[in-house]
Structure 1
Amino acid sequence: MTHSNCPRCGGRLARDNDSGRCAPCQAAERDRLSAPPVVPPSFWEHEPVRQALTERHLGRVIRAYRCHPYHGRVALPQTVVAGWLGITQPQLSRVENGPPLVYLDRLAHWAKLLCVPAQKLWFRLPDQHCWTDASLMGGATDGPHDEDQVPEQGGRAALAVNVEAPSQGGGATDRRRFNVLAALAGLAAGGHTYLLPGPPDRAPGNIGMEQVRLASSLVDDLRRADAAAGADLLCDVAIQAHARLSTWAAQATYSREVGDALQSALADLSIEAAWLAIDAERRPEARPYLHEAITRARIADDPRVEVRALTHLSLLIRESQPGESLHCAEAALRVSAGWATPRLTTLLHLRRAHAYAVLRDASAFSREMSKARQELDRGAHDDDQGFVHFVNAQELNGIEGISYLALGRPARAVQSLRAIPANPSPGHRRNQVYYAVRLSEAAHRQGDVNEAARIALDALPAVGQINSKRVTQHLAQMRWNLAASRHATKTTRQFVDAYDWAVSL
Structure 2
Amino acid sequence: MTDMQARRCRCGTRLARDNTSDRCAACTTTARSTNGNPAEPPVVPLEFWTHPGMRAALDAWHMGRVIAAYRTHPHHGRPLRQETVAAWVGITQPQLSRIEHGPPIIDLGRLTQWARLLCIPPERLWFQVQKQRAARPPAHTPVPVPVLARAIISGPGGSGGDAAAVAAWRTVDAQIGGAHLYATVIAYLRDLVAPRLFGGKGGEGAGVFTAAAALTEMAGWMAHDAGHNDRAGRHFARARDLSGVGDDPHLRVHVLASLAHLAHHRAQPDDAIDYATQGQQELTAGASHPELAARLWALQARGHAAAGRSRETRAKLDRAETALQDSNGAAPSPWVSPFDAGSLAGEAARCMRQLGDLPAAQHHAQRVLELRPAGRTRSRAFAHLTLAGVLIERGELEQACTVATDVLHTTGSLGSYLVIQQLRDLRDQLHPHRATNCARNFLDHLAESLRQREWLYQLTTDITQPRTSPTP
2:257 and 2:382 mapped to 1: Cα distance? 20
Residue 220 of structure 1 corresponds to: 167
The one of 239, 248, 252 aligned to 2:195: 248
Partner of 1:165: 133
Alignment of 1:105-504 (within 5 A): 165-166=133-134, 169=135, 177=143, 180-190=146-156, 210-245=157-192, 247-249=194-196, 252-255=199-202, 257-319=203-265, 320-337=267-284, 338-378=286-326, 383-386=331-334, 390-422=338-370, 424-482=372-430, 484-486=431-433, 488-504=435-451
Show CA shifts across 1:397-447 (max 9, x none): 221111122223334322322333346224533212111111111222333
Q: Distance in 1 between matches of 2:414 and 2:173?
A: 9
The alpha-carbon distance between structure 1 residues 182 and 493, as it changes in their structure 2 partners (threshold 3 A), is same
- Aligned to 1:258, the other structure's residue is in SS state coil
Q: 1:292 to 1:163 in 2, by over 3 A?
A: farther
Pairwise CA distance, 1:288: 1.4
CA contact (8 A) 1:228 1:426 kept: no
Residue 263 of structure 1 aligns with an amino acid whose one-letter code is F
Residue matched to 1:159: none
Q: Deviations over 1:190-228 (max 9, x none)?
A: 4xxxxxxxxxxxxxxxxxxx5343333222221111122
Give the Cα separation in 2 of the matches to 1:475 and 1:447: 18
Q: How far apart in 1 are the matches of 2:258 and 2:351?
A: 17
CA distance in 2, matches of 1:220, 1:316: 22
The number of residue pairs the alignment matches comes to 323
Runs of 5+ unmatched residues, structure 1: 1-98, 100-161, 191-209
Taking structure 2 as the reference length, the TM-score comes to: 0.61
Deviation string, structure 1 residues 50-93 (Cα, Å, up to 9, x no partner) = xxxxxxxxxxxxxxxxxxxxxxxxxxxxxxxxxxxxxxxxxxxx
3-state SS, counterpart of residue 432 of structure 2: coil
C-alpha distance in 2 between matches for 1:380 and 1:452 = 41
**CA, structure 1 residues 235+189, in 2 after alignment: closer, same or farther (shift >3 Å)?**
closer
Kindly provide the amino acid, as one letter, of the partner of residue 434 in structure 1.
Answer: F
Secondary structure of 1:485's partner?
Answer: helix
Residues 343, 388 of structure 1: 8 Å contact kept = no
Please report how far the alpha carbon of residue 276 of structure 1 lies from its aligned counterpart in structure 2 after TM superposition: 1.0
Per-residue CA deviations over 1:8-61 (Å, capped at 9, x if unaligned) read xxxxxxxxxxxxxxxxxxxxxxxxxxxxxxxxxxxxxxxxxxxxxxxxxxxxxx
Deviations 1:242-271 (CA, angstroms, capped at 9, x unpaired): 23346424653343x423111111111111
Partners of 1:399 and 1:298 lie apart in 2 by 28
> SS of 1:330's equivalent?
helix
Letter in 1 for 2:185: A
CA 1:423/1:401 → structure 2, altered by over 3 Å: closer, same or farther? closer
Alpha-carbon distance between aligned partners in 2 of 1:353 and 1:309, rounded to the nearest angstrom: 18
Pairwise CA distance, 1:311? 1.2
AA matched with 2:210 = S
Structure 2: tracts of 5 or more residues without a match:
1-88, 90-129, 453-472
Residue in 1 aligned with 2:109? none
Query: Equivalent residue of 1:401, what SS?
Result: helix
CA contact (8 A) 2:251 2:336 kept: no
Judged with a 3 Å threshold, the aligned counterparts in structure 2 of structure 1 residues 370 and 295 are, in CA distance, closer, same or farther, namely same
CA spacing shift, 1:394–1:273, aligned 2, 3 Å: same
Offset of residue 387 of structure 1: 6.0
What SS does the corresponding residue of 2:369 show, helix, strand or coil? coil
Deviations 1:273-304 (A, max 9, x none): 01111222211101111111111121235312
Match of 2:54 in 1: none
Matching residue's letter, 1:385: S
Amino acid at match of 1:331: Q
Alpha-carbon distance change, 451 to 163 in structure 1, aligned in 2, over 3 angstroms:
closer
Q: Separation in 2 of the partners of 1:189 and 1:296?
A: 23
**CA-to-aligned-CA distance 1:113-162 (integer Å, 9 cap, x gap):** xxxxxxxxxxxxxxxxxxxxxxxxxxxxxxxxxxxxxxxxxxxxxxxxx9
Which amino acid letter does the alignment assign opposite residue 187 of structure 1? I
Counterparts of 1:350 and 1:423, CA distance in 2: 18
CA contact (8 A) 2:298 2:317 kept: yes
CA distance in 2, matches of 1:475, 1:440: 10
Taking a change above 3 Å as real, the CA distance of residues 328 and 495 of structure 1, as seen in their structure-2 partners, is: same
**Match for 1:185: what amino acid?**
A
The answer to which structure, 1 or 2, has the higher relative contact order (CA under 8 A, 6+ apart) is 2
Letter in 1 for 2:306: V
Q: Distance in 2 between matches of 1:423 and 1:366?
A: 21
CA distance in 2: counterparts of 1:466 and 1:388, whole angstroms = 23
For the 8 Å contact 1:271–1:308, the answer to whether it is kept is no
Contact between 2:288 and 2:330, CA under 8 Å: does it hold in 1? no
- Give the 3 Å change call, closer, same or farther, for CA 258–387 of structure 1 in structure 2: closer
Output the amino acid matched with 1:366: R
For residues 84-119 of structure 1, what are the alpha-carbon distances to aligned partners after superposition, in whole Å with 9 as ceiling and x for unaligned?
xxxxxxxxxxxxxxx9xxxxxxxxxxxxxxxxxxxx
